[in-house]
Amino acid sequence: MDSIMIYVPIIMAIIGLLFMWIKRAWVLKQDAGDGKMKEISDYIYEGALAFLKAEYKLLTFFVIGASIALAVVSFIVPTTHILIVVAFVFGAFFSALAGNMGMKIATKTNVRTTQAARTSLPQALKVAFGGGTVMGLGVAGLAVLGLTTFFIILFHFFMNGTWTSTEDMTIVLETLAGFSLGAESIALFARVGGGIYTKAADVGADLVGKVEAGIPEDDPRNPATIADNVGDNVGDVAGMGADLFGSYVATVLAAMVLGNYVIKDMGGNIQDAFGGIGPILLPMTIAGFGILFSIIGTMLVKIKSNDAKESQVQGALNIGNWVSIGLTLVACFVLVKYMLPETMKMEFFGEGLKDISSMRVFYATVVGLAVGGIISSVTEYYTGLGTKPVMAIVQKSSTGAGTNVIAGLATGMISTFPTVLIFAAAIWGSYAFAGFYGVALAASAMMATTAMQLAIDAFGPISDNAGGIAEMSELPKEVRTRTDILDSVGNTTAATGKGFAIASAALTSLALFAAYVTFTGIDGINIFKAPVLAMLFVGGMIPVVFSALAMNSVGKAAMDMVNEVRRQFKEIPGILEGTGKPEYGKCVEISTKAALREMMLPGILTIGFPIAIVILGKLVYSDNDQLTAEMLGGYMAGVTVSGVLWAIFQNNAGGAWDNAKKSFEAGVEINGEMTYKGSEAHKAAVTGDTVGDPFKDTSGPSMNILIKLTCLIGLVIAPILGGHAVETGVALKGQEVRVEMMVMDDDAAEATVSYATIVNGKEVVKEKRFVGTTLEVKAQVEAFRDGVKVQIEQ
3-state helix/strand/coil string of 150-184: HHHHHHHHHHCCCCCCHHHHHHHHHHHHHHHHHHH
Q: How near is the Cβ of 620 to a second copy at its closest, in Å?
A: 8
Q: Which is nearer to a second copy, 72 or 545 (CB)?
A: 545
Instruction: Give the shortest CB-570-to-a second copy separation in angstroms.
Output: 17
Give the residue with the Cβ less far from a second copy, 405 or 731: 405
- Least distance (Å) from a second copy to the CB of residue 385? 21
Residue type for position 244 = L
Rounded least distance, CB 429 to a second copy, Å:
9
Distance, in Å, from the CA atom of 513 to the CA atom of 717, rounded to the nearest integer, reads: 12
Closest to a second copy by CB, 320 vs 438, is 438
Nearer to a second copy, 135 or 439 (CB): 439
Q: Side chain identity at 3, as an amino acid letter?
A: S
User: Whole-angstrom Cα distance, residue 139 to residue 241?
Assistant: 7
Find the shortest distance in angstroms from Cβ 508 to a second copy.
Answer: 15
Burial 449-469 (b: 16+ CB within 10 A, else e): bbbbbbbbbbbbbbbbbbbbb
Shortest Å, Cβ 701 to a second copy: 16
Distance CA 256, CA 151 (A): 10
Alpha-carbon span 394 to 411, nearest angstrom: 12
Q: Are 713 and 177 in contact (CB under 8 A)?
A: no
The type of residue at 725 is A
Q: Which is nearer to a second copy, 665 or 680 (CB)?
A: 680
Find the shortest distance in angstroms from Cβ 420 to a second copy: 4
- 630: CB partners within 8 A, 6+ apart: 522, 525, 526, 529, 531, 532
∠ Cα 683 686 690 (to 5°) = 145
Length of the chain: 794
Give me the least distance between CB of 538 and a second copy, in Å please: 5
Q: 297 vs 633, which CB is nearer to a second copy? A: 633
Nearer to a second copy, 399 or 752 (CB): 399
Q: Which of 695, 699, 686, 692 is nearest to 207 (CA)?
A: 686
Tell me the backbone φ, ψ of residue 470, rounded to 5 degrees. -60, -45
H or E segment and range at residue 744: strand 738-745
Chain centroid offset of residue 348 CA: 28
Contact between 491 and 463 under an 8 Å Cβ cutoff? The reply is: no
- Closer CB to a second copy, 87 or 427, in the complex: 427
Minimum gap (Å) between residue 645 Cβ and a second copy: 6
CB of 609: closest distance to a second copy in angstroms?
11
Is the Cβ of residue 3 or residue 552 nearer to a second copy in the bound state?
Answer: 552
Is there a contact between 392 and 411 (Cβ–Cβ < 8 Å)?
yes
For residue 765, the cross-strand partners are 756
C-beta of 107 vs 430, nearer to a second copy: 430
**Smallest separation, CB 727 to a second copy (Å):** 17
Contact 206, 559 (CB under 8 A): no
CB atoms inside a 10 Å sphere around CB 428: 12
Nearer to a second copy, 132 or 204 (CB): 204
Helix (H) or strand (E) holding 756: strand 748-759
